[in-house]
Structure 1
Amino acid sequence: MKFTIIKSALVAMTFFTAISCKEFLDVNDNPNAPIKENLSLNAKLPAALVVSAVNESVQLNQIGGLWGGYWGTSNEGVSAFTALKTYNGPSIRDTRDGIPVWESSYNNLLYYKEILDQANAEDAKFYAGICKIMMAHHYFTLVDFYNNVPFGDALNGSTNLHPKYESGKDVYAKSVDLITEGITDIKIASLLPTTDDVLFKGDKSKWVKFGNTLKLRALLQQSEVASQESYIKQEIQKIVQEGSGYITENAAVNPGYLNTATKMNPFYETFYRNNAGVAVANYANIRPTQFLINTYQSYNDPRLQQNYTQISGEFKGVIFGNNTIADAYAAIHTSALKGPLENGNQPAGIIKSFGQATVLVSLAEAAFLEAEAIERGWISGIASQAYEKGIQASFNYLFNQNNYNVQPYINQKTVSYSEANHKIERIISQKWLALHNINNIQAWNDFRRLGYPAIPNSLSSPTPGAYPLRFMYPETEINTNNANVLAQGDNGVLTARIWWDVK
């Protein structure tokens, strides 16, 4: 197994710690060959967490933005994201120009494994626990994209160049177990990280709640697999017995982003403005789909105006996969992402500032996860309250308030939980809006799992009616571990289902 180093991720490979945290992401002389053996745990941990945040907010948001129904492209971006718009699996897996979800995930897993080994050697259980939880997070992502992946044989470097694959189902279960182990380590730890923990500042309770939330997400991912019912109940009971519950705030990484190239909030820098305040290419290329705009408007949803600009008093979207150059789809005639410069120099919705934290899991998503689990009878509680909590959290985040008045919105018949004939569909519909531009990839996961909402297919789909359901294994893996790749089958198409997608 070969892992390609991703420069944009490894720019964060070392940190000054504690007081010097403001000098965010100070790097080794050679960021492509970091001198790891001389670094302490409190230098390695923030680097790994920041790379996780970069992957989530840039690479996964880009894929989920396009495949999750949120984004299309303007005339200016007609040649951008072609592989994603046309569902071109070979191009996506291409070594040179592809989308390296596999490589970036395993690179980060390797770094967490190195930290874990060092933490075990130093009996630093909190650090070990964090690594186990975050490794599970990345393994879930790999399975969601590729299905069967190396797990037990992975991360062994040159000692095993041809790791065998394990079923996606087994990797999910082993990753859930990793979280359980991580939670146990954290709860008994005595040496606590502080500012080097750029996610929760060494707060045991918050890490445990985060672990439980990742577990709940993974268990709900399996909701449609009838054979998993007993397993899900067993794991839910473990969460209940542990007793800490789920996150009560956004799980967000912030190492102290700077208005400096490569050290800004990654979403801001990739999709909005660079450190000189100049709009990046993606700002002109990416546009909301008309489907997204219509959905917002069908709910009289004020979040639309927080996230996008108006054109002559109206919101104008594009059609995903449209490759026709038309005046209506020019950048100047379609709504753009809204940031401080378009909002009177005040924080907007998704885009607030170059220094905003990067959300790994939002409070809104966690609340919708709880609502669905309650509605399914998995956990106790009142589903309507968790559902409204999710809406409240989304509005609070986007409007930069602690208690935005969501009651007029919730009282609408199309939003009210009590008025819904299909409760889970209503939960997922509102969750879809709350995930927008924060965790886009989870919207694609929900669509594959449940079919909600009814996202239009790409106009450039090679097979009308066929949606992409996975990634193909990358060329890097085919070139170095081909026998194990071939043994998986179904690598020739994007429409082969992964293990939990049974709808």
Structure 2
Amino acid sequence: MRYNIIRIGIIAFASITFVACSDFLDVNDNPNSPIKENLSLSAKLPAALVTSAAYESTQLNQVGGFWGGYWGTSNEGVSSFMSLKNYNGPAIRDTRDGIAVWESSYINLLYYKEVLDQATAEQALFYSGIAKIMMAHHFFTLVDFYNNVPYEEALKGSSILHPTYESGKDVYRKSMDLITEGIAEIKVASLKPSNDDVMFKGSEVKWVKFGNTLKLRALLRQSEVKDQATYIRQEITKIVQEGSGFLEEDAAVNPGFLNTAAKMSPFYETYYRNNSGVAVANYANIRPSQYLVNKYKEYNDPRLAQNYVSAKGEYKGVIFGSNAIADEFAAGNTSAFKGPNENGNKPGGVVKSFSQSAVLLSLAEANFLQAEAAERGWIAGEAGRLYQNGIQASFNYLFNAVYNIEDYMNQTNVRYGDATNKIERIITQKWLALNSVNNIQAWADFRRLGYPNFPNSVSSPTPGAYPLRFMYPETEINTNNVNVSKQGDNGILTARIWWDVN
């Protein structure tokens, strides 16, 4: 089923909290036809947040893992993920076997629209504020994959079955405004969530910082679009004037995952072990790319050994897109994820435990975003310090404790002051930090800046070509083709997202 990723999040939350939120999340596959149920906000909010987190940890991590330069496949996985390895747009958009980013995103948006509508009716401003921030987050994702998408006419149920599309640029601006509204509502709310907020436990300041950090990420997406400079300055001013700043911890969701089928942390269950402790297929099929392994080695980076196991005494990766069966690319001869089973029952780096939190936006990324913004002169602050904070946050997250990075930072190829291209240095360390945490951000940064310069798939139908986007899905073509056809070229290798100008 194409929505197994969604179901993981649904079942996990419903079973753990003993709330019948699965009825709320059991929507029709048509993203314009939600099923409304009479559930409390305290049931709807956590269900929606868990679904967002499962989507980020699994589906988006998968796409970003392969297209962001991190992952390839072993011999055992040579026939898996073929559409991603071949940049096969029609296969990716296929109704039955495709990758349902469009459908997953709009389903998530429906959940938050339900929260928003009920919260508005009940004057529960904290809940409506959260819903608006999370809706913006998902609209940003849609634009990053598809460019022009329905916005104003989306989520209208049977009243508008064929929503018109709006430009990706306009959807970005409206989503920025949605976050501004959400922040304002949270700051004046009297009724606050508590444990039903499975990300920040009802913390006003943390939600506001998260909203500001999402804004900064969206503004940096536009860094290369020259006619956006004035708009970016105006929006940065709003963030500064709001005054709360940016994230100071991971934005991570955890309703209390259990070691039970479909109730485990989604990344762990999808890429490592099932509830019986048996390795899942992805554990043998997915391997780090040779480029990633070599980058770690280039920086004498201890995160390599924290994230992966050695194979016969060496850390070995694979070639992304290779369909050749060779002994050197066998699962037993290449480096798998290191989790508790390979680490003396202690947490690994990206694989920690069946109960590990699902990260929506990491502290490491928040610091790297600020470092880039500071280096560009957008915000106050020392770019080098923020850059180091990003590296520190990554090491702390992966080593599950405060890690001494002094030796690492003293390397010439790591020191910020020694960089001739400081933006490239920031993005390269950001790339290393987000490996298998939020892979999808690497694909966006590569399209925007070309850093780091990882190789494309050796199975690319066009030599030297990289994927630029997803094609509109068959589900949308079959139900809204008049509006889809107005968008023009949407080829994976030919049509760019509006902010991708290089």
- What interval of TM-score do these two structures reach, taking the shorter chain for normalisation? over 0.9
> 1: CA distance between counterparts of 2:426 and 2:19?
38
Aligned to 2:407: 408
Q: Supply the AA of the counterpart residue of 1:158.
A: S
Q: Measure how far apart 1:491 and its partner are.
A: 2.1
- For the residue of structure 1 that corresponds to 2:465, the secondary structure is coil
What are the within-5 Å matches in structure 2 for residues 182-197 of structure 1? Answer: 182-197=182-197
TM-score relative to the length of structure 1: 0.96
Aligned to 2:100: 100
Tell me the alpha carbon deviations over residues 8-64 of structure 1, each in whole angstroms, 9 at most, x when there is no partner: 4145448889xx955588745995679742210000000000000011000000000
Q: Supply the AA of the counterpart residue of 1:94.
A: D
- For the residue of structure 1 that corresponds to 2:418, the secondary structure is coil
Counterparts in 2 of 1:294 and 1:5: CA distance versus 1, 3 Å: closer
> 1: CA distance between counterparts of 2:154 and 2:27?
21
Q: Percent same amino acid at aligned positions?
A: 71
Contact 1:24-1:258 at 8 Å conserved across structures: no
Tell me the alpha carbon deviations over residues 445-466 of structure 1, each in whole angstroms, 9 at most, x when there is no partner: 0000000000101010000011
Whether 2:360 is the aligned partner of 1:360: answer yes
Counterparts in 2 of 1:465 and 1:29: CA distance versus 1, 3 Å: closer
Measured on the aligned residues, the alpha-carbon RMSD in Å equals 1.8
Q: Supply the AA of the counterpart residue of 1:337.
A: F
Counterparts in 2 of 1:101 and 1:93: CA distance versus 1, 3 Å: same
Q: Supply the AA of the counterpart residue of 1:404.
A: Y
Gaps (5+ residues) in structure 2?
29-33
Q: Measure how far apart 1:111 and its partner are.
A: 1.1
Aligned to 2:133: 133
- For the residue of structure 2 that corresponds to 1:37, the secondary structure is coil
Aligned to 1:9: 6
Whether 2:236 is the aligned partner of 1:236: answer yes
Q: Measure how far apart 1:331 and its partner are.
A: 0.5
- For the residue of structure 2 that corresponds to 1:418, the secondary structure is helix
What are the within-5 Å matches in structure 2 for residues 443-454 of structure 1? Answer: 443-454=442-453
- For the residue of structure 1 that corresponds to 2:360, the secondary structure is strand
Q: Measure how far apart 1:311 and its partner are.
A: 1.0
Counterparts in 2 of 1:15 and 1:466: CA distance versus 1, 3 Å: closer
Contact 2:165-2:483 at 8 Å conserved across structures: yes
Q: Measure how far apart 1:495 and its partner are.
A: 2.7
Contact 1:469-1:496 at 8 Å conserved across structures: yes
Tell me the alpha carbon deviations over residues 407-445 of structure 1, each in whole angstroms, 9 at most, x when there is no partner: 110110000000000000000000000010010000000
Contact 1:13-1:44 at 8 Å conserved across structures: no
Q: Supply the AA of the counterpart residue of 2:168.
A: G
- For the residue of structure 1 that corresponds to 2:416, the secondary structure is coil
Q: Supply the AA of the counterpart residue of 1:447.
A: F
Whether 2:501 is the aligned partner of 1:496: answer no
What are the within-5 Å matches in structure 2 for residues 105-124 of structure 1? Answer: 105-124=105-124
> 2: CA distance between counterparts of 1:30 and 1:148?
26
Aligned residues: 497
Aligned to 1:215: 215
Contact 2:293-2:304 at 8 Å conserved across structures: yes
> 2: CA distance between counterparts of 1:62 and 1:24?
30
- For the residue of structure 1 that corresponds to 2:37, the secondary structure is helix
Whether 2:154 is the aligned partner of 1:157: answer no
Contact 2:361-2:438 at 8 Å conserved across structures: yes
Counterparts in 2 of 1:24 and 1:256: CA distance versus 1, 3 Å: farther
Gaps (5+ residues) in structure 1?
none
> 2: CA distance between counterparts of 1:283 and 1:176?
38
Q: Supply the AA of the counterpart residue of 1:312.
A: K
Aligned to 1:173: 173
Aligned to 2:297: 297
The ranges of structure 1 where at least 4 consecutive aligned residues each deviate by more than 3 angstroms after the TM superposition are 10-17, 20-36
Q: Measure how far apart 1:394 and its partner are.
A: 0.2
Whether 2:347 is the aligned partner of 1:347: answer yes
- For the residue of structure 2 that corresponds to 1:388, the secondary structure is helix
Q: Supply the AA of the counterpart residue of 2:286.
A: I
Aligned to 1:436: 435
Counterparts in 2 of 1:301 and 1:492: CA distance versus 1, 3 Å: closer
